[in-house]
Amino acid sequence: MGKKIVICCDGTGNGFDKVSEESNVAKLYSSLQIGPGQVAYYHPGVGTMGDPNARGFVSKHLSKLRGLAFGNGLLRNVGDAYRYLMDNYEDGDEIYLFGFSRGAFTVRALASLINVFGLLCHGNHGAIPYILDMYSRRSRDAKGRIKQFSSDEVFKWQFSHANPVKIKFCGLWDTVASYGWIYDPITLPFLGMNPIIEVGRHAVSIHERRCFYQDNLWGEARSPQDFRQVWFAGVHSDIGGSYPEETSGLSKIALEWMMVEAIAHGLEVNDYKAKIVLGKCSAFPRLEGLPEYVAPDANAKQHFSLNGIWWACEFLPQQDPHVDKKKYILPMGRDRVIPPNSFIHQSVVESNWKPKSLPAHQVEPWVPLGAIPDRGVAHNLLAAD
């Protein structure tokens, strides 16, 4: 039996430098059981480190800004994660992907890259820049679908693993709709449906309204794929974490949900560490610098992200994400659109943060760590007034 390989890609400006403000990706990584049977890789978010070749304070900060505005660093981040997989993957291994915000975009791009070109066999480091370049230049036909070229399949046959490489589990926290605020370096193929992902879980924010953080939902899964997108109360980082620990009760709900789902599909976590980051027990002996982790709390503080410069950005024309044709609008802090019959987490229904109106939906049960999710208990609800 093969091992498990876990890839964790963090969101904008996230990392390990502030333990008290870690994202759910970092907390999940900290909870993993690492050993011969499961190895893991963590990458901090774009805008965290800047270009490693940049010299000096000003150059470093300019490279971070380029990453935020133009998506600089996306292909490098995808390439780094791809290289780790190439060096560690053997036939029979299972791949788990996790990401928040732009990190979620990154792991979806990684899965897309593997779908198009396969996973290169060990030692082919020199070919990675080549496939990244080909990937970034993929063109679209008149219907907006990514073109597949015969050369892709030939390349896959020549240089990649003969047995198809699948993604066992892909867990996302609030994927952003674009990587660069001003320009996107790639158009993501297989965005709506990637056939190599077996199980997908996506925690989505109900209350985020910033135009640069528009939701990026999956499309319909194809049998036997198992995809589920669940909406949670709170803004972007109330879902994926990175607010100060004492105000992270909402994000812990989405973290616990993801842990439970991933464990049910084979991910190995250290039960003691998982309980610590979920605020269900304290570390002993006490570690200096380790925060007092809070527990999941449906009525914890909900943050407000649409302020300051973010509100000024709402007066910049943006492409409407809900229409096929290129139509530009002034966002003006528009609410996100929850599709009918979506899954709404039980914590939303029971909390003070329930929206004034919800479409007809299904309730996703709140399953605590250590329990097994029962898919038979979700039930339909009519639209709420």
For residue 375, being part of any structural domain is answered with: no
Task: Taking residues 118-131, report their average pLDDT.
Answer: 94
For residue 385, being part of any structural domain is answered with: no
According to DSSP, residue 312 is labeled: H
Query: What is the per-residue pLDDT across 181-199, written as a single tens digit (0 to 9) for each?
Result: 555 545 666 666 799 999 9
Query: What is the per-residue pLDDT across 248-303, written as a single tens digit (0 to 9) for each?
Result: 999 999 999 999 999 999 999 999 999 999 999 877 777 777 889 999 999 999 99
Contacts of 348 (CB under 8 A, 6+ apart): 206, 231, 232, 233, 298, 354, 355
State residue 137's pLDDT score: 73
For residue 376, being part of any structural domain is answered with: no
For residue 369, being part of any structural domain is answered with: no
pLDDT-based confidence at residue 28 (cuts at 50, 70, 90): very high
What gap in Å lies between CA 191 and CA 111, rounded to an integer? Answer: 10
For residue 374, being part of any structural domain is answered with: no
Greater pLDDT, 305 or 48: 305
What gap in Å lies between CA 309 and CA 298, rounded to an integer? Answer: 29
Nearest partner of 50 among 20, 15, 81, judged by Cα: 15
Query: What is the per-residue pLDDT across 59-98, written as a single tens digit (0 to 9) for each?
Result: 544 555 555 555 567 888 999 999 999 999 999 999 999 9
The total number of structural domains that make up the chain: 1
Print the domain residue range for 10.
Answer: 4-364
Share of the chain above pLDDT 90, in %: 52
For residue 382, being part of any structural domain is answered with: no
Q: What is each CA distance from 184 to 25, 66, 93, 177, 385, in whole angstroms?
A: 23, 11, 32, 10, 38
